[in-house]
């Protein structure tokens, strides 16, 4: 989990899979301001470095910029990460404001979602095909938490 502003702040070590959702939100909110107040979503991807992850779930209003205002490098950062670390990483880009300006264009292993609800995890699982080989049912939230 990396809240971002001018830079990204990895707070994953401060969170637990067993934490209730509101406690997670409170913990993330407690670090507001520690990462600045900009819109540099690229910093999240760059902060991964060589750490291999299977998916990136990016929550934003998509009104973000790279190192200077008006210059978005998010798509380039994802492509660099794919080229250097994990070519199969999934990007689930959740547009919280629905302005219609995605951070990246549609493509392989890119899932563009607008809005937010408790069904986000189900949409992510469906996009990745998780559980479909066993059943046509969408996996439960408990299954996703246990396995991811």
Q: pLDDT tens digits for the chain (148 residues)?
A: 888 888 888 888 888 888 888 888 888 888 888 888 888 888 889 999 999 999 999 988 888 765 444 455 888 899 999 999 999 999 999 999 888 788 888 899 999 999 888 888 889 999 999 876 655 566 677 777 777 7
> 9-17 long-range CB contacts below 8 Å, 24 or more apart?
9/34, 9/35, 10/47, 17/145
């Amino acid at each position: 989990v990396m809240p971002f502003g001018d830079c990204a702040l990895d707070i994953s070590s401060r969170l637990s899979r067993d934490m209730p959702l509101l406690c997670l939100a409170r913990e993330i909110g407690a670090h507001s301001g520690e990462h600045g107040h900009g819109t540099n979503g690229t910093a999240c991807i760059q902060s991964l470095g060589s750490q291999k992850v299977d998916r990136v779930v990016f929550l934003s209003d998509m009104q973000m910029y790279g190192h200077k205002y008006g210059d978005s490098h998010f798509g380039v950062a994802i492509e660099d990460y794919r080229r250097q670390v994990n070519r199969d990483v999934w990007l689930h880009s959740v547009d919280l404001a629905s302005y219609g300006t995605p951070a990246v264009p549609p493509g392989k292993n890119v899932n563009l979602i607008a809005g937010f609800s408790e069904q986000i995890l189900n949409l992510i699982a469906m996009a990745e095909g998780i559980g479909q080989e066993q059943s046509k049912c969408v996996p439960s939230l408990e299954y996703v938490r246990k396995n991811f």
